[in-house]
Structure 1
Amino acid sequence: MTDITVIPVTGASSYDVRVGRGLVADLAAVLPPAAAKVLVIHAPPLAAQAEALREQLAGRVEVLLAEVPDAEGAKRIEVAAFCWQIMGQTDFTRTDAVVGLGGGATTDLAGFVAATWLRGVAVVQVPTTVLGMVDAAVGGKTGINTAEGKNLVGAFWAPSAVIVDLDLLAELPQNEILAGFAEVVKCGFIADPVILELLEADVSVATDRESPIFRELIERSIRVKAAVVSDDFTEQGQREILNYGHTLGHAIEHAERYRWRHGAAIAIGMVFAAELSHLAGSLPAEQVDRTRRILASLTLPTGYPLGRWKTLLATMQRDKKTRAGMLRFIVLDDVARPRVLNGTDESMLFAAYQEVGE
């Protein structure tokens, strides 16, 4: 096992995010001491890894496996009910634990299942994608989708630990690595300019999962999120900045019936947010151009069909970030200077979207 970086998340519910290689081998050490059963929720591509966890933990706890659909297909009430059924049939108690093994959708589901079973049991998140490592598995936001929109049903439920084992990325396709970097870029623009500088210096090195720069970017992104959620666990204020690019991004995911990678949709959402920031008279034009340039270097999309605006607007108006019928967007006054923009006139929103539209 190599060196371990421990990033604490403090506040009402404290836990550690452990970053390194070979960390899954020590999973037993972060399970609740009283746990007799563990439900490992995983997607089909991770069946072998889930079975390996069962063998690894044999003798310590009884391991139950719940294979769920891949990606956003997992985030449905029917899938949560399937997990609850397994827990009910095996007498899963409050001292037992859930392990989320997979990408962001799997960890979102695992957290939701843990938050709702017996009003809350422990969950350990083991993300296996860049997106999961830097965003979804950290912070305690859990959720499932409905026909009306993304993450409209959910709960705040902090994990008891997050294991970021970089070895789990070994077989992940490079396009999945790059898609996950949309959230890394977001962290750079809202809080840590060094992230942007490292990406601009050499994007091939930055996205090489074996390079020290790659690990630094993962850790810097986690530190951004850990700092924000430590101060505002239930999104009453500062945590909203993590939604930069997400209002339009989530609407695009819904419009595409969740067939798009999250990072691709969020990339377009960030271009829109940058354009909106510029129209609001804050973000300099060169930073808008910089947004496009960095995202393009990661082969992420920066435009979306102009004719889809009315559909996207209707979805955004149902977004969970809307207050009293008013849309709320995170915009930038400059790099690392985010703020909330309330009640923006629809004509300004459309003007920003025209800069994104293809």
Structure 2
Amino acid sequence: METVRVAIGDGGYPVHVGAGLISEFGKHIREATQRERVVVLADVNAAKFHGAKLKRSLRTAGIKVHKWIEIPSGERSKSWSRAHSLLNEVIESGADRWTPILAFGGGVTGDLAGFVASLLFRGVPLVQIPTTVIAQVDSSVGGKTGINFAGAKNIVGSFYQPKVVLADPSLLLTLSERDYRAGLAEVVKIGMTLRPDLFERLEGDVLHFTTCDPETLAPAVLACVEAKAEVVGRDEKDQDVRSILNYGHTIGHAVEALSLGKLRHGEAVAIGMNAAARVGEAVGITPSEVRIRQNTLLSELGLKLTYPGADNRAIARKLKLDKKVRDKRTRFVLTLQIGGASVWPHIPEKYLRGAIRKVTRA
């Protein structure tokens, strides 16, 4: 097991990473929360494949499951109605403000459970137990929680940090090949923006990364967590440098929302990274060889770079709802080199439209 500390104002919290770590989850939860009962908000698939192991680990540590609630997989669960329902169930169960909530699942579960934890009694202890690639390398770390609203992703939410994050790459073995590969887009994103060494590791060992080997993945998960922890430590509330972690998400989120569930988040981010690289190339920021290396790696990992037939105008309208919009201008994350990115305060619309056309044409 390796541990990374997210250093923020209130002392921070640990992120433990290790293959086979699930047997020790209970011990780490007990240490982080000092509580003997918990509420578990679990993705249905995480519960199906790993629920028994989690319950056994909790029992071993002397922790009682006060309430176990399962959440349907998919973005549709990130809704106000689902959050409202969960709040009702947890309150009616008799949980109090000291009862930790365990978010057991992927990014959807983590965002939703974190949002509920931030609202309940004005904040109850939160533990993140990510079970997907995206959640382990990105969304479980940093305290962003939220739901989708008014047709936009994550537009309602809060910053609410967990007490501990527990990432076991062996849990990824039960993911479908599509979900696993989609998650690798976020690993590429970290490589493109912060960790050139990670990008080169992916380039040099594509075969192992595409076959989901926990021992191969653990160092990659750790590298992503290290990179994100450093950025969050500098900019917890996403006011400055943390925005670079949205690379590929501006157009990616718009495409994802318009796909109505047909695209996985990581698949949309891959398309968004292609679009971002093309914007950067068009404005003279991103060298063509950077775009080519990025897109070659994404393709070798089994990710598509375009979404033919999407409504270009609808995508452009969605961009106006992006969280990075400031003073009615869409700020955009561009890469200057592999492992180096920055936020550009304004991109002329002609370049955005051009990139959108390229990622939506047949």
TM range (shorter): over 0.9
**Distance (Å, rounded) in 1 between the aligned partners of 2:4 and 2:108:** 22
Q: Counterpart in 1 of 2:54?
A: 53
Runs of 4 or more, structure 1, over 4 Å off, are none
**Distance (Å, rounded) in 2 between the aligned partners of 1:89 and 1:214:** 40
Q: Counterpart in 2 of 1:37?
A: 37
214-223 vs 237-246, which moves further: 214-223
- Please show how residues 169-188 of structure 1 align to structure 2 within 5 Å: 169-188=172-191
1:99 and 2:102 aligned: yes
- Retained in 1: the 8 A contact 2:141–2:165? yes
- Retained in 1: the 8 A contact 2:38–2:63? no
Provide TM-score, normalisation by structure 2: 0.93
**What number of residue pairs does the alignment pair up?**
355
- Retained in 2: the 8 A contact 1:206–1:217? no
1:128 and 2:125 aligned: no
- Retained in 1: the 8 A contact 2:153–2:257? yes
- Please show how residues 255-266 of structure 1 align to structure 2 within 5 Å: 255-266=258-269
Q: Give CA-to-partner distance per residue, 1:285-322, whole Å, 9 cap, x none.
A: 11111121011001111012366211001011011211
Q: Counterpart in 1 of 2:2?
A: 5
53-62 vs 278-287, which moves further: 53-62
Relative to 1, partners in 2 of residues 1:259 and 1:38: Cα closer, same or farther, differing over 3 Å?
Answer: farther
- Please show how residues 1-358 of structure 1 align to structure 2 within 5 Å: 4-13=1-10, 14-31=12-29, 32-48=32-48, 49-58=50-59, 59-210=62-213, 212-305=215-308, 308-358=311-361
Q: Give CA-to-partner distance per residue, 1:73-122, whole Å, 9 cap, x none.
A: 22111111121112211222121100011111111111111111111111
**Distance (Å, rounded) in 2 between the aligned partners of 1:187 and 1:349:** 23
Shift of 1:34: 4.5
Shift of 1:63: 2.9
- Retained in 1: the 8 A contact 2:312–2:356? yes
**Distance (Å, rounded) in 2 between the aligned partners of 1:51 and 1:85:** 25
**What percentage of residue pairs aligned between the two structures are identical?**
35
Q: Give CA-to-partner distance per residue, 1:43-88, whole Å, 9 cap, x none.
A: 2223343354345434533431111111212211111112111221
The alignment partner of 2:142 has SS state of coil
**Distance (Å, rounded) in 1 between the aligned partners of 2:112 and 2:168:** 20
Q: Give CA-to-partner distance per residue, 1:6-58, whole Å, 9 cap, x none.
A: 01111124111101122222223233554343111112223343354345434
Matched residue type, 1:50: G
The alignment partner of 1:170 has SS state of helix
197-206 vs 127-136, which moves further: 197-206
**Distance (Å, rounded) in 2 between the aligned partners of 1:170 and 1:161:** 23
**Distance (Å, rounded) in 2 between the aligned partners of 1:242 and 1:217:** 16
**Structure 2 stretches lacking a partner, 5+ long:** none
The alignment partner of 1:8 has SS state of strand
The alignment partner of 2:41 has SS state of strand
**Distance (Å, rounded) in 2 between the aligned partners of 1:189 and 1:73:** 29
- Retained in 2: the 8 A contact 1:209–1:215? no
Matched residue type, 1:326: R
**Distance (Å, rounded) in 1 between the aligned partners of 2:136 and 2:118:** 20
**Distance (Å, rounded) in 2 between the aligned partners of 1:125 and 1:92:** 18
Relative to 1, partners in 2 of residues 1:33 and 1:146: Cα closer, same or farther, differing over 3 Å?
Answer: closer
Provide TM-score, normalisation by structure 1: 0.94
- Retained in 2: the 8 A contact 1:71–1:103? no
**Distance (Å, rounded) in 2 between the aligned partners of 1:75 and 1:194:** 34
Matched residue type, 2:3: V
The alignment partner of 2:253 has SS state of helix
**Distance (Å, rounded) in 2 between the aligned partners of 1:191 and 1:168:** 26
Matched residue type, 2:6: V
The alignment partner of 2:229 has SS state of helix
